Amino acid sequence: MARKPAEKSAEAPKSDPRARVVDALMALAARQPWDMISLTAIAEEAEISLADLRDLFPSKGAILGGFVRRIDRIVLDGTGEDMQDQPARERVLDIMMRRFDALLPYRDALRSISRAFERDPLGMLALNQQGLNSWRYMLEAAGIEVDGPMGALKIQGAILVFARAFRIFLDESDPALTRTMAALDREVKRGEWVLARAEGLDRMAAPFRGFFRAACDGRKRRSRRHADEPHPDAA
């Protein structure tokens, strides 16, 4: 698999207060459990007031969302045209591996955050929503169609593939991330198998969807026509 190295550092400009807050959260998460990180500690680490922090972010989760968008930007900025002639599978693997490259400097913090969210179902749901937003753009950058009936399945499938490889990534000691890459390869193959069968079912269901739409439209037209007809008892 062709792999394009990350071209842009994940380090944000220090003059940007939002970036300083994101950096502060990740620095604190690398040193202590997520649940012990307070908003006051984040403000102190970022060298801003608590009032200024409130203006920038409403919660720790929102700051984490800012980190996710930072990684999105790094990956999207590094997406060129050199993979356009590659199969879809290779393009998706390239995007995923470059995302892991961007996450690598934050791995200690990500271990702490991951452990906390494993015990927080509501937090996991919020994190999945962040993933839906991210992977819509990631797949678009890989040239994968994300609209239409199968779009949501592709996006959620990409999240699951990445999440399974993410567990390997957190504990891998090889700087080249060979185990992570191998895990991604396996999970993408499995995802392709599921998607192929889902697309087959979608094609089989297409005529029935058309029939039921036509039937529903016919019922609506008849209902409107009956509603417009005068009642026989009307004077």
- The structure tokens listed for 196 are 């192929």
Which letter, b or e, does each residue of 49-68 get, where b requires 16 or more Cβ atoms within 10 Å of its Cβ? eeeebeebbeebeebbbbbe
pLDDT in tens, 161-183: 999 999 999 999 998 999 999 99
Domains (ranges, CATH) in the chain?
17-201 (1.10.357.10)
**Cα gap 168→181, rounded to integer Å:** 9
The model carries a pTM of: 0.76
Confidence of residue 190 (pLDDT cuts 50, 70, 90): confident
- Full DSSP string of the chain: ---PPP-S-SPPPTT-HHHHHHHHHHHHHHHS-GGG--HHHHHHHHTS-HHHHHHH-SSHHHHHHHHHHHHHHHHHHT--STTTTS-HHHHHHHHHHHHHHHHGGGHHHHHHHHHHHHT-HHHHHHHHHHHHHHHHHHHHHTT----STTHHHHHHHHHHHHHHHHHHHHH---TT-HHHHHHHHHHHHHHHHHHHHHHHHHHHHHHHHHHHHHHHHHHHHHHHHHHHSPPTT--
Q: How far apart are CA 109 and CA 151, in angstroms?
A: 31
* % of the chain surpassing 90 pLDDT: 50
**Cβ contact 83:2 at 8 Å:** yes
User: Would the pLDDT of 58 be above 60?
Assistant: yes
Q: How many whole angstroms separate alpha carbon 24 and alpha carbon 26?
A: 5
- Give me 33's structure tokens: 């459990």
Q: Phi, psi at residue 85, to the nearest 5°?
A: -90, 5
Q: For residue 7, what pLDDT band results from cuts at 50, 70 and 90?
A: very low
**What are the backbone dihedrals phi and psi of residue 40, each rounded to the nearest 5 degrees, phi first?**
-65, -45
More confident residue, 66 or 124: 66
Please give the pLDDT value at position 195: 64
Output 98 or 14, whichever has higher pLDDT.
98
Q: What is the DSSP letter of 142?
A: T
